[in-house]
């Protein structure tokens, strides 16, 4: 997702078109979302795989998501968007283990007995993010007129030939190249470029 945001920023940098970026969490009714995947796995009696027992995610209904997008567009007319990303001020995150358990119960099944379950880790690791982030690296969240919407200030990645080449290669990938090993290198390079640029700005 972050790679897509950086790419769009670079693409629209020389355009007069106003780019509005909004981050949505998982949509409950979304086919291909977490809930949909769990439902399919349970229906097929497949192994449920979760990051860890305490794994939680934020969710929105499709109606709440649509409302968030519309409200975001309204806020976009009143704020400077050159270095901001709209995010939804969520409620409490939901336990993936509890969601899977309730989905299984709806089919008269029980996790662990009828449906096998495994965890990739015994304890959470901050969803993969490093705990060594300094205060200077922390993003700044700005309040908006809508209490349910925040504006996350970001450090913009300056345009450079190397960045443009990475984005061009990423967007030029063919459908049969869209596997983990192909796009991982491009996105990893792009995110490293952003981290390096942020460090140079602070120094």
Task: Give pLDDT tens digits for 51-65.
Answer: 999 999 989 889 999
pLDDT given for residue 139 in this prediction: 63
Which has the higher per-residue pLDDT, 169 or 109?
Answer: 109
Compute the mean pLDDT over every residue in the chain, rounded to the nearest whole number: 78
pLDDT given for residue 130 in this prediction: 39
Structure letter (DSSP) for residue 176: G
Q: What is the mean pLDDT of residues 105-133?
A: 74
Q: Is 29 found in the same domain as 78?
A: yes
pLDDT given for residue 9 in this prediction: 79
Asked, for residue 6, whether it belongs to a domain, the answer is no
Q: How many domains does the chain have?
A: 2
Q: Is pTM beyond 0.75 here? A: no
**Rounded distance, CA 70 to CA 18, Å?**
16
Q: Is 27 found in the same domain as 116?
A: yes
Buried b (16+ CB within 10 A) or exposed e, 70-79: ebbeebbeee
Q: Is 187 found in the same domain as 93?
A: no
Q: Is 172 found in the same domain as 200?
A: yes
pLDDT given for residue 105 in this prediction: 95
- What percentage of the chain has pLDDT greater than the value 70? 73
**Per-residue pLDDT band at 77 (split at 50, 70, 90):** confident
Q: Is 170 found in the same domain as 189?
A: yes
pLDDT given for residue 182 in this prediction: 61
Which has the higher per-residue pLDDT, 37 or 175?
Answer: 37
* Integer angstrom CA distances of residue 184 from 170, 181, 193: 10, 6, 14
Asked, for residue 135, whether it belongs to a domain, the answer is no
Asked, for residue 130, whether it belongs to a domain, the answer is no
Q: Is 186 found in the same domain as 198?
A: yes
Q: What is the mean pLDDT of residues 162-174?
A: 73
Q: What is the mean pLDDT of residues 135-139?
A: 53
pLDDT given for residue 108 in this prediction: 94
Whether the predicted pLDDT of 95 surpasses 50: yes
Asked, for residue 11, whether it belongs to a domain, the answer is no
Q: Is 117 found in the same domain as 63?
A: yes
pLDDT given for residue 97 in this prediction: 94
Q: Is 60 found in the same domain as 48?
A: yes
Asked, for residue 134, whether it belongs to a domain, the answer is no
Asked, for residue 5, whether it belongs to a domain, the answer is no
Within the chain, residue ranges assigned H as helices are 2-12, 34-43, 62-76, 96-106, 161-171, 180-202
Residue 176: give the domain boundaries: 158-203
């Amino acid at each position: 997702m972050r790679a897509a945001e950086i790419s769009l920023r670079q693409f629209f940098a020389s355009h007069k078109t106003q780019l509005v970026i909004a981050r949505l969490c998982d949509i409950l009714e979304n086919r291909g979302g977490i809930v949909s995947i769990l439902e399919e796995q349970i229906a097929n009696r497949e192994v449920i795989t979760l990051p860890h027992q305490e794994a939680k995610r934020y969710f929105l209904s499709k109606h709440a998501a649509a409302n968030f997008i519309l409200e975001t567009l309204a806020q976009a007319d009143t704020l400077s968007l050159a270095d901001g990303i709209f995010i939804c001020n969520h409620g409490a995150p939901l336990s993936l283990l509890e969601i899977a358990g309730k989905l299984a119960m709806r089919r008269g099944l029980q996790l662990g007995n009828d449906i096998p379950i495994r965890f990739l880790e015994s304890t959470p690791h901050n969803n993969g993010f490093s705990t060594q982030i300094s205060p200077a690296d922390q993003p700044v969240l700005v309040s908006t007129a809508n209490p349910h919407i925040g504006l996350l200030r970001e450090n913009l990645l300056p345009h450079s030939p190397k960045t443009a080449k990475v984005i061009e290669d990423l967007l030029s990938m063919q459908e049969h190249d869209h596997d983990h090993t192909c796009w991982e290198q491009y996105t990893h390079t792009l995110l490293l470029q952003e981290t390096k640029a942020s460090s140079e700005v602070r120094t």
